[in-house]
Amino acid sequence: MNCPRCGCVLSTIEYEGADIETCPDCKGEWLDGGELKQIVQTVERRFTPEQVALLDAVNRAVITEDDSPENELTCPKCGDAELHRFIYAATTGVALDKCKRCGGIWLDDAEIEKVQILAEEWKKKLSEDAATYGPVLAKLNAESDAADERAADMSRLPLVGGFINSVLRIVVD
């Protein structure tokens, strides 16, 4: 396979338990479908607080998908499919390129580390968020369950006419 960015021949390496292709020139990486998920779930490599802080600064910047010509890449695996540019996890500022046909993802230099840092930081904050928002979510779930139960009770009422059933629904809710 050739690099979609610079055309060099990609080399296969082992990274976080996955065999990925990497470009010796531009340092980009090609991941087959499912490999990014595998890498994010594997935590072999640790990142310094400085690396996390650098990514945090990127996250605060307003990033949009860049449709400039240098970002129009062809899938190195399919050969003729154009890669679709997207922002990883919607608001992170990390722009990746994905093939809609084969599901592979192209990551430019150091983007794989950025994705890993994001995933690891989210995991660290998960228990904190659960403690903060868990009671609110539990209350909302209970309210939703109660509304579902009221709706089920209403569905058991005998049909006595569309108008009366409508009035009963308004009164119950």
Q: Show pLDDT as tens, one digit a residue, over the chain (173 residues).
A: 999 999 999 999 999 889 999 999 999 999 999 999 888 887 655 656 666 566 555 555 444 445 554 678 999 999 878 999 988 887 777 889 999 999 999 999 989 988 888 888 777 777 777 788 778 878 888 888 877 777 766 666 555 556 666 666 665 55
For residue 94, what pLDDT is reported? 86
For residue 159, what pLDDT is reported? 55
For residue 53, what pLDDT is reported? 63
Instruction: Give the pair of three-digit tokens for residue 109.
Output: 């230099």
For residue 63, what pLDDT is reported? 47
Q: Let me know: does 23 contact 3? Beta carbons within 8 Å.
A: yes
Instruction: Give the pair of three-digit tokens for residue 46.
Output: 């640790």
The span from the CA of 173 to the CA of 160, in Å, is 18
- Exposure of 121 by Cβ count < 10 A (0-12 exposed, 13-18 middle, 19+ buried)? middle
For residue 165, what pLDDT is reported? 62
For residue 23, what pLDDT is reported? 97
For residue 64, what pLDDT is reported? 47
For residue 49, what pLDDT is reported? 66
For residue 134, what pLDDT is reported? 79
Residue 74 DSSP label = B
Pairing of strands 95-99, 105-107: antiparallel
